A and B are shown apart, each in its own frame.
Chain A
Amino acid sequence: MPDHHDPLRHIFDDLVAMPSPTTEQTESARRALSVVIRDEAPGESIHPRLRLGVAVAAVLAFVVAITVVAPWNRSPAEAFLGEVAEAARNITPDEMPQGSYIYFVTEQLVWGGTEGSLGDELVRVDYLIPSTTESWWQDGTVRNETTVGRPTFFDPEDEAFYYDHGLDKSDFVGETRTETLTGIKSRIDPEEWSTIPEQLAVEMRQAAEADPSEEPIDAKMMGVAYRLLNPRVFASPMLRAAVIDVLATLDVDQQRLDGGRVSASLTYDRRYFGTIRLEFVFDGEGYLVERSSTAISGDEEGILSPGTVYEIITQTPPVVVPKAGVRPTLLTGSASGG
């Protein structure tokens, strides 16, 4: 039972009113909901008894689409993802002996921000901050060694403020930190996902539709794919291949890059960010090695100028190592070996 005498419950008392919506506000919200309810076509009803039928129908539709329609409509350029999916399928799965760890390196440059005090004012500064993290994963345990680089600022005033007020200290700029976290519950169990593209497409779509954000469904699907392809998930080659096959069915632009790499990018309008391009890059074996987001039109606040890459994350394929702290270079003489 809630402890209503807990002082923490009352921390906002006298400071925060808990107002009721006006009748007009309630009616307005109710009308908006009614429109959505009315717009749900009878065929979209999702009664549990119908779900199986819907899923089967979706699988059948997908099968028809990829076996009958897709190959005839697919231009050669659109086959790039299929090639890396096939390459992934031909890889022998790595074994993970008892007690071993998954090792990978993540480098990222992301749009960050820090708040700090300036007299009575609280000020926010925006910047792109780079970091490199080496990770060792085993079940619910991870050891991370993270080194943070110097940020890039959009505004010289922000940069001066940042360093003048020691905000770099709170970002650990120039430092390498090691942390070990335990008891982490992964939301993705690769065993629970189908390696049959048609079935996986249905499962991914269900997961995407559970995402309450306003992103378009294809962006949500790419989000699900990103989680499945994270190195720590240690997805089997068959699962990686199936995910790539599903991505190929989305409204993505496929490009062949150097070194046998292939990219898939989705361009869409994102609230506050304007038009953005979300891009995945796969290596020749179907490992997702890079994800980036570009503000094509610039964000609504005018912080990001058009064309700014405001997020770029690269990850090495996972390598099995015998214990935490051991790097593949010590085993194979190659950082990317494995």
Chain B
Amino acid sequence: MAAVEHTDDREVMKASLEDPAVFHLVFDRYHARIYAYLAGRVGAVAAEDLASEVFIAAFRQRASFRSDAESARPWLYGIAANLARRHHRSASRRRRAYSRAPATSVVWIDPDTSVRVDAARQVKGLTGELNKLRAKDREVLLLYALADLSYAEIAEALGIPVGTVRSRLSRTRARLRNLLPEEGQSMGEGSDTNGGGE
């Protein structure tokens, strides 16, 4: 296992086919990031189980990992996105779930953060606008803004052309124009007009 410790993901994935225990390296490299992404999408409680499921699913599917891919990152985010989508489908079936927790159903807010009035208004607007986005556009946005993936990595994660990623983000950008912060301005500092997404 030590022999592949410093090699790239491709080598690690390849080695794990012969020695399954090597797959722990993939876990060690990406678990925290996948967890953080999922926590942003489904909340910290659900993220714990889902992040665990991502690596179990990835281990079982490791033979399908593309041998020409250098990084396992987009592949893992693709699996995470699938699981998060499924989680939301289940969660959204709960009647009036959003009315109980309109913000946390979509984005998780650090409970330790003291949320300002403006930010609360922003959350409501953002949540409403996110719900109006097409599911596929929302998926791309979350990988872009929460997981910080590049266009090419999102394309790889979701199995879609880069041009499609670009057009979906462009559509989202237009839709969320009023909610986007100015450069150098944080979301909590938005003016009242920025909060009017309802």
Contacts and interface: CB of A to CB of B under 8 A. Distances in A.
Q: For B52, B59, B60, B112, which residue has the most chain A Cβ atoms within 10 angstroms?
A: B52
The contact size tier of chain A is: 35 or more
A16 B38 CA distance: 11
Interface stretch (A24-32, A128-136, A195-203, A229-237): A24-32
Nearest to B112: A17
A92 interface: no
A301 B93 contact: yes
Interface string B60-77: 111110000000000000
Contacts of A271: 90
B95 A126 contact: yes
Give the 9 A-B CB pairs with smallest separation, nearest first. A17-B110, A122-B98, A121-B99, A29-B52, A7-B180, A14-B187, A21-B35, A18-B36, A14-B188
Contacts of B37: 18
24 contacts: A8-B145, A8-B169, A9-B145, A11-B179, A15-B126, A18-B36, A18-B40, A18-B146, A19-B35, A20-B36, A29-B35, A37-B24, A40-B20, A48-B63, A51-B63, A115-B98, A120-B124, A124-B94, A155-B95, A209-B60, A210-B61, A210-B64, A212-B79, A301-B95
A204 B20 CA distance: 24
Interface in B120-164: 122-124, 126-128, 131, 141, 144-146, 148-150, 161
B35 A20 contact: yes
A8 B141 contact: yes
A1 B51 CA distance: 26
Interface of B: 14, 17-18, 20-21, 23-24, 27, 31-32, 35-37, 39-40, 44, 48, 51-52, 55-57, 59-64, 79, 82-83, 86, 90, 92-99, 102, 107-110, 112-113, 119, 122-124, 126-128, 131, 141, 144-146, 148-150, 161, 169, 172-173, 176, 179-183, 186-188, 198
A124 B92 contact: yes
A271 to B, nearest CB: 8
Contacts of B182: 7
A13 interface: yes
A13 B60 CA distance: 34
B145 A12 contact: yes
A335 interface: no
Contact of B55 (A19, A29, A126, A185): A29
A17 B35 CA distance: 12
B56 A113 contact: no
Contacts of B55: 29, 33
Nearest to B149: A2
Q: For B57, B95, B149, which residue has the most chain A Cβ atoms within 10 angstroms?
A: B95
Interface in A24-55: 25-26, 28-30, 32-34, 36-37, 40, 45-48, 51
A194 B197 CA distance: 53
A13 B17 contact: no
Contacts of B128: 117, 122
A26 B31 contact: yes
A126 B17 CA distance: 44
A77 interface: no
Contacts, number: 193
A61 interface: no
A213 B57 CA distance: 8
Interface in A275-316: 299, 301, 303
A9 B144 contact: yes
A154 to B, nearest CB: 9
A74 interface: no
A225 to B, nearest CB: 19
A84 to B, nearest CB: 32
Contact of A212 (B17, B40, B83, B172): B83
Contacts of B108: 16-17
Given A7-B181, A10-B145, A12-B146, 4 more contacts: A18-B37, A26-B35, A29-B51, A36-B59
Nearest to B116: A14
Given A10-B181, A13-B181, A46-B63, A21 B48 contact: yes
Contacts of B17: 45-48
Interface string A77-120: 00000000000000000000000000000000000010101101
A214 B194 CA distance: 41
Contact of A11 (B64, B92, B180): B180
Contact of B122 (A1, A9, A15, A26): A15
A84 B20 CA distance: 43
A259 B169 CA distance: 50
Contact of A34 (B24, B96, B102): B24
Contacts of A30: 24, 27, 31
A47 B67 CA distance: 12
